[in-house]
């Protein structure tokens, strides 16, 4: 990618008081799902929650982000690592892509090692559905440990 890419981030409402430290650090360092912007300027044009299950804010925040120029919306890593993981991830992704014609990436910062270890031991992410959802946030062990 080249040029400036405008992005929005939607976080899980369980973490509504999150200041975005891990997401913003990963964006700055181009780690996790933000590694796709290695050679690109990025402008954050929106950051908000889904508004809790079943994600009532996704409809409106998608519209606002696109009005602000968002080309890509990231569904934050918290939607994956929370327990249980968000049951609406696929619906959010499909809705935003179809309704607003925006690219949606599942994930922001790398999955912290402690969450990978926990979900692996619980068997949470078993099955073919999870592999493509987790792929953007998987990284090497040292990076994962830095996000614990």
b (16+ CB within 10 A) / e for 91-111: ebbebbeeebebbbbbbbbbb
- Domain range for residue 9? 4-146
Instruction: Count structural domains, the chain.
Output: 1
Token pair in block for residue 57:
């804010």
Q: Which CATH number do you get for residue 80?
A: 3.40.50
DSSP structure string for 77-135:
THHHHSSSPPTTHHHHHHHHHHHH--EEEE-SSPPPHHHHHHHHHHTTT-STTHHHHHG
Total residue length of the chain = 148
Question: What's the confidence (pLDDT) of residue 3?
Answer: 80
Best CA proximity match to 83, nearest among 129, 138, 122: 122
pLDDT per residue of the chain (148 residues) written in tens, 0 to 9? 458 999 999 999 999 999 999 999 999 999 999 999 999 999 999 999 999 999 999 999 999 999 999 999 999 999 999 999 999 999 999 999 999 999 999 999 999 999 999 999 999 999 999 999 999 999 999 999 999 9
17: helix, strand or coil = coil
């Amino acid at each position: 990618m080249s040029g400036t890419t405008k992005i929005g981030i939607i976080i899980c409402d369980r973490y509504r008081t999150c200041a975005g430290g891990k997401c913003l650090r990963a964006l700055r360092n181009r780690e996790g799902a933000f590694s796709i912007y290695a050679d690109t300027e990025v402008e954050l044009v929106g950051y908000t929650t889904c508004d809790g299950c079943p994600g009532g804010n996704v409809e409106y925040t998608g519209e606002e982000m696109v009005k602000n120029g968002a080309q890509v919306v990231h569904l934050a890593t918290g939607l994956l690592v929370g327990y249980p993981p968000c049951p609406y991830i696929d619906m959010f992704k499909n809705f935003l892509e179809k309704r607003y014609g925006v690219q949606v990436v599942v994930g922001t910062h790398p999955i912290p090692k402690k969450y990978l270890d926990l979900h692996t031991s619980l068997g949470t992410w078993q099955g073919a559905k999870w592999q493509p959802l987790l792929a953007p946030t998987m990284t090497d062990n040292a990076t994962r440990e830095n996000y614990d």
